[in-house]
Amino acid sequence: TWEVKKYIKDTLMVSTKTEIDKAKEAKEEEDTIFGKIARKEIKSDVAYEDDLCLAFRDIHPQAPVHIVLIPKKHQGLTRLSKAKEEHKDLLGHLMVVAAKIAAQEKLVEGGWRFVINDGSNGGQSVYHLHIHILGGRQLGWPPGQTTPFNLSFEFISTIPVSYTHLTLPTNREVQISVGAVSLKK
């Protein structure tokens, strides 16, 4: 996998960091991108807001509806495993608001998913407690399955590339095209 990522990055000038990579590199910091969004220092597509929380549409949606719900002030609650008795009202409020958002987005009839990632192994890449509200399609189970070639791409620069090939040590050919990797047997 590393050889494929390096080849893609060096040849196509793209970042191949996965969400798992981002979670492993994330640090618990006092200020995060979500804190900046809550304070309106960074623009977001707001789906819901009240005195305690803010919900916005994810910029890298994993479903037709993917909304991130955050407390405006995390009160030391950087991850769910840090929850204490004094967070009970805030956590309850977030759950009720998540249900309101699901109804607002017309997800209730078909169903939806409520996700809180906790820590590196849980896939948490931003240490400001947040809830993912996902729906609008059939969601797979179990969540969190990965394959060695599950890569996401972010373009660093624009280079006209149609496709290229390389052979992995497993003798499987990989076709790399802009935004996609496919394996051939």
Catalytic positions, please?
Answer: 130
Tokens of 147: 């394959």
Cα–Cα distance for residue pair 179/74, rounded to 1 Å: 35
- The backbone region for 151, taken as left when phi is positive above 0, alpha when psi lies in -120 to 50, beta otherwise, is beta
What Rg do the C-alpha atoms of the chain give, in angstroms? 19
Q: Please state whether beta strands 131-135 and 65-71 pair in parallel, antiparallel, or not at all (unpaired).
A: antiparallel
> Which 8-state DSSP code applies to residue 27?
-
